[in-house]
Structure 1
Amino acid sequence: MTDRDPLYRRHRFPAEIIAHAVWLYFRFPLSLRMVEDMLAARGIIVSHQTIRLWAEKFGRTFANQIRQRSCGRLGDKWHLDEAVISIRGETHWLWRAVDQDGFVLERLVQSRRNAKAAKRLMRKLLKGQGRAPRVMVTDKLRSYDAARREVMPGVEHRSHKGLNNRAENSHQSVRQRERVMKRLKSRRQLQRFISIHDPIANLFHIPRHDISASHHRQLRAAAMNMWPEIARI
């Protein structure tokens, strides 16, 4: 490529191959070695370490662009939840917030499951979304209400275990990746991965309820057409 995008300069592989490798890694629950094998099956010989570097460098750029495009377009009903994560034998908590359609709004790995941790998530949510929600839905953890009274006192809060399945389901992608990777090396590694993974997953997340198969295919095609634009290929 004689006029390749500055983002890809000094990389010997074409932009299309790099973007495709990043897409495979974050779009599906694949390990780096699995992506390496899938590229090798097409005659593209690249090491899994190189794919890791691509995922960190280019994935972050792609994720930032997706976040900018989706700013202000996500829902006003926030579902918050926390899931326990074991990292090198130590207990951590993955706090997540999704909207009513299942799009991930925010994610935060913390070592505590208390009101201080809940407040940190809510403040990050408000900063990222630029507005408070219409309603907030959580499980029965009392820390949420304590944090809400301080951070978002005017927001309606619904606390019920059965109402929060949407947020609980959002942890599945991390659970799948955890199994593929065998183990998580550090809290920083997990935070870095989900900060890239979730925006890319949002781009290809298409709610299946109340839409026809043809409409679903149209939305999927629109997401696939947007990816080359985001990846600058």
Structure 2
Amino acid sequence: MYLWRAVDHEGEILESFVTKARDKDAAPRFMKKAMKRHGSPTTIVTDGLRLYKAAMTEIGIREKQEVGRWANNRVENSHLPFRRRKRAMQRFRRMKTLQKFASVHANTCNHFCVQRHLVDRQTYKERRSAGLAY
């Protein structure tokens, strides 16, 4: 099973989608679904996998793709909490449970994870102290 995730420029997870295959048919389905819900992006950062290029050509947004050595870091770092949780659960056995968990995890992670780069140090310390007080 493959988990496709769309992440915005601030690191928030926009969309999670599970497929059985990671191929040219699954990529456009995911991109169309994400664009239908969140609109057309100005740029799309991907890794160097060739199926992204083919899928974007099929959709007609090939010129918006960016591929770089470290450009994909925000997406890769957004996977870390999910991978940690998946390891604790000792993998998923069904696609349906993975899809449910991925969508719920994305919503709770976006809500409770403080985006450190968006607030100054003093505000961050106050919020952290208030959260730990309970």
Query: How far apart, CA to CA, are the structure 1 residues paired with 2:107 and 2:21?
Result: 25
* Alignment pair present for 1:214 and 2:122: yes
Aligned residue-pair number: 131
1:141 is matched with 49
Q: Quote the Cα distance in structure 2 between the aligned partners of 1:191 and 1:142.
A: 25
Alpha-carbon spacing, 1:220–1:150, altered in 2? closer, same or farther (3 Å): farther
1:163 aligns with 2:38: no
Closer/same/farther in 2, CA of residues 217 and 120 from structure 1, 3 Å limit: farther
| Aligned counterpart in structure 2 of residue 106 of structure 1, from 15, 25, 29 | 15
Query: In the alignment, what sits opposite 1:132?
Result: 40
Deviation of the 1:161 alpha carbon: 3.6
Pairwise CA distance, 1:158: 0.4
| Percent of paired sites with the same residue | 38
The match for 1:227 is: none
Change (3 A) 1:218 1:118: farther
Higher alpha-carbon deviation: 170-179 or 139-148:
170-179
> 2:128 and 2:121 mapped to 1: Cα distance?
10
Structure-to-structure mapping, 1:71-220, within 5 angstroms: 92-129=1-38, 131-153=39-61, 156-209=64-117, 211-217=119-125
Contact 1:134–1:155 (Cα < 8 Å) also in 2: no
Measure the CA separation in 2 of the matches of 1:215 and 1:152. Answer: 43
Preserved CA contact (<8 Å) 1:206 1:220? no
Return the offset for 1:148. Answer: 1.2
Cα-Cα RMSD? 2.3
**Alpha-carbon separation, structure 1, partners of 2:56 and 2:91:** 33
- 1:137-164 Cα offsets, whole Å, 9 max, x none, are 0000111111112224275210124210
Contact 1:93 1:111 in 2 (8 A): yes
Q: For 2:87 and 2:95, locate their aligned partners in 1 and report how far apart those are by CA, in whole Å.
A: 16
Q: Deviations over 1:14-69 (max 9, x none)?
A: xxxxxxxxxxxxxxxxxxxxxxxxxxxxxxxxxxxxxxxxxxxxxxxxxxxxxxxx
Q: For the Cα contact (< 8 Å) 1:133–1:155, is it kept in 2?
A: no
Instruction: List gaps (5 residues or longer) in structure 2.
Output: none
Larger Rg: 1
State the SS of the aligned residue for 1:163.
coil
Q: Which runs of 5+ in 1 are unaligned?
A: 1-91, 225-233
Deviation at 1:188, TM superposition (A): 0.9
Distance 2:18 2:4 in 1: 6
Q: Does the aligned pair in 1 maintain the 2:27–2:55 contact within 8 Å?
A: yes
Would you say the 8 A contact 2:53–2:62 is kept in 1?
no
CA 1:154 to 1:162, structure 2 compared with 1: closer, same or farther past 3 Å?
closer
* Equivalent residues in 2 for 1:12-51, closer than 5 Å: none
Distance 1:174 1:153 in 2: 29
When the two structures are superposed, what TM-score results if normalisation uses the length of structure 2? 0.85
